[in-house]
């Protein structure tokens, strides 16, 4: 696997990102002839702890890269800190990583509130906040925040996908929305409104928010049901998505349900909720469901599985988050490789903002459909702008329809 993947990644880098050529070695903080020090914050504890496996998957991927010779001969030293999904803690951890550990950048820090808390600090200090784990539209603003770039599609794009689907397939819908009371949830609601267009005010009959400190969402669900809604969109992290699915089922409410992609994990959401209680729920995804037999028959899946077994044997092979962590780490390594010997913070951002049609093996599996391409430019970062709808059948997410392209925000 190692030699084949090294060749594959070299081809990916050559075709997807313009290669930087530098006459002399230029290094930023955390870089030497033998090492690239990378920082990360991740909720290994707290209400969003199910996302912690993303950090572990990234560490496992970098372990493989190091075994294969590193980045142009330099090993990745990945330092990941637990921020508990608490913005003040994120600020503390980010300062430690940058000022004490002297990392080159922060890669894949997780969460909308945590990343919002450090965005000004990162940009004032001109430190890349790269491929952050959030779909908030605010993280695609290179004019005002040139050092901040998200990875996944925005919640506005995703909400719009649901809105357009509802217009086309559920014209008599009365929509209720449960959303996390922060920018991630508000973006999803704004995207839904955008997708519904001038029918939004008529079709959305009720909205309720929750805080990540809440014990339950029972009262919110009761209120939404009382509105007479026959469609429910849930924009939540896995813990609260599972509580929602379970409560909706237990009280006998049977709306058509749409679930935000960040909570569409079988392991973190559907199993805790009770898989039978989530049958029929629709989501929009930018990665394939690796539990799907069609996906498992591809070379891309077999390569991913071999990596999981060797480098992350304690990881759950049914958890889609472990595919997401693998994909974003692949993209990051491709960026670093194109930096050559110019491993400055400025050049990393330049290369990340110049990705052209980068295709990765587990990004919607191109052998099953046209696949999703990653592209960025200095005026609009947003690496991923395509998604595909999928419906939960009680065991797996079954994709349907075509890839849906959307605007950059």
Whether residue 194 is found in the same domain as residue 275: yes
Band (pLDDT 50/70/90 cuts) for residue 5 is: very low
**Which of 4-13, 133-142, 178-187, 398-407 shows the lowest per-residue confidence on average (mean pLDDT)?**
4-13
The per-residue pLDDT for 11 is: 44
> Residue 398 and residue 140: Cα distance in Å, rounded?
30
Which residue in 220, 201, 209, 259 sits closest to 390, CA to CA? 259
Q: Are 38 and 103 in contact (CB under 8 A)?
A: yes
Whether residue 337 is found in the same domain as residue 377: yes
Whether residue 46 is found in the same domain as residue 82: yes
Whether residue 74 is found in the same domain as residue 185: no
Whether residue 12 is found in the same domain as residue 136: yes
Which residue in 312, 303, 285 sits closest to 55, CA to CA? 312
Query: Does pLDDT of 27 surpass 80?
Result: yes
Whether residue 163 is found in the same domain as residue 147: no
The per-residue pLDDT for 101 is: 98
279 C-beta neighbours (distance < 10 Å), count: 14
> Residue 348 and residue 62: Cα distance in Å, rounded?
17
| 3-class state of residue 263 by DSSP | helix
Q: Cβ-count burial of 314 within 10 angstroms (0-12 exposed, 13-18 middle, 19+ buried)? A: exposed
DSSP 124-142: HTT--EEEEB---GGG--T
Q: pTM of the predicted model, to two decimals? A: 0.88
Mean pLDDT of 168-185: 96
> Residue 360 and residue 373: Cα distance in Å, rounded?
8
Whether residue 167 is found in the same domain as residue 147: no
How many structural domains comprise the chain?
A: 2
Query: Does pLDDT of 288 surpass 90?
Result: no
62 lies in a domain? Answer: yes
Which of 285, 313, 338 delimits the end of a domain? 285
310 lies in a domain? Answer: yes
Give the CATH number for residue 301: 3.40.50.2300
Which residue in 136, 163, 173 sits closest to 152, CA to CA? 136
392 lies in a domain? Answer: no
Which residue in 391, 315, 374 sits closest to 149, CA to CA? 374
Which of 240, 268, 285 delimits the end of a domain? 285
The per-residue pLDDT for 385 is: 87
Mean pLDDT of 66-73: 96
251 C-beta neighbours (distance < 10 Å), count: 12
Identify any residues that bridge with 256 across adjacent strands, giving them in sequence order.
231
403 lies in a domain? Answer: no
Whether residue 199 is found in the same domain as residue 268: yes
The per-residue pLDDT for 17 is: 60
Percent of the chain with pLDDT over 90: 85
Whether residue 258 is found in the same domain as residue 336: no
Which of 242, 269, 285 delimits the end of a domain? 285
Mean pLDDT of 367-376: 79
Which residue in 75, 111, 57 sits closest to 330, CA to CA? 57
Which residue in 179, 208, 95, 184 sits closest to 133, CA to CA? 184
Q: Are 129 and 151 in contact (CB under 8 A)?
A: no
Whether residue 147 is found in the same domain as residue 160: no
Residues in CB range of 317: below 8 A, 6 or more apart: 290, 305, 308
403 C-beta neighbours (distance < 10 Å), count: 15
Residues in CB range of 313: below 8 A, 6 or more apart: none
CA distances from 182 to 82, 111, 158, 235 (A): 21, 11, 16, 10
Domain interval for residue 23: 2-152+292-384
406 lies in a domain? Answer: no
Query: Does pLDDT of 250 surpass 50?
Result: yes
DSSP 188-208: HHHHHHHHHGGGHHHHEEEEE
């Amino acid at each position: 696997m190692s030699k084949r993947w090294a060749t594959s990644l070299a081809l990916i880098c050559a075709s997807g990102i313009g290669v930087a050529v530098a006459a002399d070695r230029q290094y930023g903080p955390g870089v030497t002839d033998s090492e690239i020090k990378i920082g990360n914050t991740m909720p290994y504890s707290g209400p969003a702890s199910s996302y912690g496996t993303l950090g572990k998957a990234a560490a496992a991927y970098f372990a493989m890269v190091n075994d294969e010779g590193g980045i142009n001969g330099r090993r990745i030293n990945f330092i990941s800190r637990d921020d508990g999904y608490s913005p003040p803690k994120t600020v503390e951890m980010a300062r430690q990583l940058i000022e004490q550990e002297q990392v080159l950048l922060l890669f894949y820090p997780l969460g909308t509130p945590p990343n919002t808390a450090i965005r000004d600090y990162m940009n004032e200090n001109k430190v890349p906040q790269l491929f952050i784990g959030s779909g908030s539209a605010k993280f695609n603003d290179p004019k005002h925040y040139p050092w901040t770039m998200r990875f996944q599609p925005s919640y506005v794009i995703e909400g719009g996908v649901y809105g357009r689907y509802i217009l086309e397939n559920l014209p008599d819908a009365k929509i209720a929305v449960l959303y996390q009371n922060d920018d991630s949830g508000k973006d999803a609601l704004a995207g839904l409104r955008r997708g519904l267009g001038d029918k939004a005010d008529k079709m959305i009959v009720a909205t309720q928010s929750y805080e990540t400190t809440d014990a339950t969402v029972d009262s919110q669900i009761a209120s939404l049901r009382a509105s007479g809604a026959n469609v429910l969109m849930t924009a939540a992290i896995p813990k609260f998505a599972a509580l929602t699915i379970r409560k909706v089922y237990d009280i006998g409410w049977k709306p058509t349900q749409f679930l935000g992609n960040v909570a569409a994990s079988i392991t973190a959401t559907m199993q805790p909720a009770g898989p039978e209680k989530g049958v029929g729920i629709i989501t929009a995804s930018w990665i394939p469901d690796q539990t799907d037999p069609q996906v498992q028959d591809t070379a891309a899946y077999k390569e991913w599985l071999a990596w999981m077994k060797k480098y992350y044997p304690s990881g759950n092979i049914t958890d889609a988050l472990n595919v997401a962590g693998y994909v974003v780490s692949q993209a990051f390594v491709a960026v670093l490789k194109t930096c050559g010997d110019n491993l400055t913070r400025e050049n990393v951002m330049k290369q990340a903002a110049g990705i052209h049609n980068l295709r990765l093996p587990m990004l919607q599996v191109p052998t099953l459909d046209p696949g999703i391409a990653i592209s960025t430019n200095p005026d609009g970062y947003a690496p991923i702008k395509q998604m595909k709808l999928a419906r939960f059948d009680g065991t797996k997410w079954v994709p349907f329809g075509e890839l849906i392209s959307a605007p950059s925000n």
